[in-house]
Structure 1
Amino acid sequence: MKGGITRAKKHLMIKPGNVAGCKMAPKDVIAELWEYYHKKNRGRQSATPGSTEEQSVNARELDLESLGFGLSEEDAQGIDEPYNPAPMAAARGGATSMRGPMDLFVRKPETAIARNKREKLRQQNIKEACNKEAVRRVHRYLARWFYQAGIPLNPIKLKSFQEMLWAVGSFGPNLPAPSYHALRVPLLNEELDYTKGLLKGHKEQWEKYGCSIMSDAWTDKRQKSIINFLVNSPAGTIFLKSIDASDYVKTGEKLFELLDDVVEEIGEHNVVQVVTDNGSNYVLAASLIVTLAH
């Protein structure tokens, strides 16, 4: 990162001068910066030293400076003054925790995730090499959380785990953890709505081309009969649900009731075929479904 906060703002607001304008800055961000720029100039003209208005202007400047704007070497042509957030952070007694309305534009988790995906392709530079020790310390805390919670290590391979780290990093210091209630109710409902949104495209394909219901039966350590139901279509295969079918798999009639409920959930007009095991109870259930369909 190079360049001071003033030149960084000029870069984002595309202000003519010795800094190249940002081609990716959203229009609302540019408009907000220009509004702030004119408001600050008017404040300087009318404010006297030590006045409340001048303090307000300084507070607004401090708030934007706390965002930690920085320019890449490609964008900051002609800039030779290095950006150093240390004095500002030290003046506040440590890492900055001040946040302003501009954070909604420049600290979006989605933006951080996309940026980090691009930066993974870059060759490691000297700064990144120097940060190895800091990364190791953070990894030690992550590992300790896994060990103390007794969580299997496989979740760390998930794409969503890396995206979570990028989202936390884009927020900055002093991120509060979600409460137990938030994880249990509102956040769970939000994730359910998000998942339903992902399934919207699949359901459209079901209605347009039809789909296949696939069942996969297995027995767990407690000898419970579990059936996983999946739905396949040109859009791909999705997991529908998992059912404890210990009371269903004994007879073909009971298994037919279970499969019929799944067909009703997907929609009879959408189902092209039902793929099951070849056991006698499944064969009977399949024949009942075919009879019902006719």
Structure 2
Amino acid sequence: MERPPEFDDVEVLGLDENEKEEELMQEIGSERRRQVLEVTGNSASKKLKVLPPQSSKGPIDCYFSPRPTVMGKNIRQTTIDENSLAKNELRERACVAIARWMYDVGIAFNAVNYDSFGEMIQAIENYGREIKPPSFHEGSVFIKSVDASDESKTAALLASLIEKELMEISLEKVVQVVKYNASNNVAAGRILEANFPHLYWTPCAAHCIDLMFEDIFKIHVFKETFRKAVELTGFIYGSSGVLNMLQKFTNGVELLRPGQTRFATAFITLGRIHLQKANIRKMFTSESWTTSKWAKEVKGKKCERTILSPAFWNHVVYALKVSGPLVRVL
């Protein structure tokens, strides 16, 4: 039996008026295509127009797995062997992708034995290939907050507050408590570890790095460089006129950008100042600046000397080389 032609634009002539449209659709159709029959002229002439299938799902589809597709009449059927080979190949690719992810994050292989793992796979299948992976913040859950602003933040108080939450959540479900490195937090962690031997207190990595930044700020050369950078950005952003003037030279690029922590923000701002070094120098040496009222102000003159000082830019590069690895880790 010959394979049917492609029905992209087919003229069907001489159809019997009493012939059912469903039989015509079965003869030429497949559930992989949505077919629309348009009647043009008299009943002796009909035009068949084939459109792509709809891929949208209705609300009820959320509760059922997709059913296998049934091939249409007179269309070449995919054999069981071919289908099995394709399925095996797709499954192998999926298993490799899952395994690579487990290698990257260090997940134990027996994690796949949990019922929740199978439920996750089933949920992904039910949604379909268009699913968007969850973000970092979608994986965390906020339980509650406690207002302790009117009490002294002693180690005993912090330990008691955390212990209360541990009891509500269930001890067997908690193995780690992450807190800042302040002395009272460290002492609270020691109390919790003594009361619950299975529990681990872990210092916040971001806070550790932030404390390292704070120590770097204490070095004289960095302290002076940061102070001058703060004066520069404060002067520029303190006047809309100066800010508008600078943005014409930087094509709208901002010098300030918030970071994960206060000290990281300062280093990131230094980096943006360095990237715009040429444009900032152009502004402070342009006629627009020299003829402006801000060039005659004390703060303006001070910022101009800073920008035109080779030593300032050398120290900026020095600071960025020291802080760069820490910023990337943070």
Q: Which has the higher contact order (CA 8 A, sep 6+)?
A: 1
Larger radius of gyration: 2
Structure 1 length normalisation: TM-score? 0.28
